[in-house]
Amino acid sequence: MNRTRLAPLVLAGGLALALAACGDDEPDTQSAPGPAATSAATSAAGGDADRYCELTAELEAIGEGIFADVPEDAGEEEYMRREQQLLEQGSAQFEELERVAPEEIADDVPVMLDGIRARAATGEDPNQDAASAAEERVLAWEEENCA
């Protein structure tokens, strides 16, 4: 895996995987946990795991709309344009995601998001290895906690 991944595919694929891990598997009609349960979960692990998963579901929905009609032969510029659109439309969610990230991934989420921002702005991530490693840890946490 020494080949540099195409920046747009990393965002579209990696972010989609990250966001899909926290997607809606159950209907929203379920009642939310009470304040005591939420408070206990938040203080036990740091951050707010429930809110983190809600935000990733919101970002997944935004991303699905933006990337839904990307042609297979789309160039890097098209992906960058859509990545920028995702960052604009989901800016509030991205910012909150960093604030509520659970303790286990609190250091990794900003690194992963910085990589996404860099790729959207320039098409490259100067810290590709660090962002990829952070993304793997975030995905593993999300699979365990957001599914």
Whole-Å CA distances, 92 to 59, 87, 104, 125, 133:
10, 9, 22, 22, 24
For the chain, domain boundaries: 7-23+37-145
Higher per-residue confidence, 23 vs 127: 127
Q: Are 133 and 12 in contact (CB under 8 A)?
A: no
CA-to-CA distance for 122 and 114, rounded, in angstroms? Answer: 12
On whether the pTM is more than 0.75, the answer is no
**Which of 18-27, 37-46, 53-62 has the highest average model confidence (pLDDT)?**
53-62
**pLDDT tens digits along 42-75:** 434 479 999 999 999 999 999 999 999 999 999 9
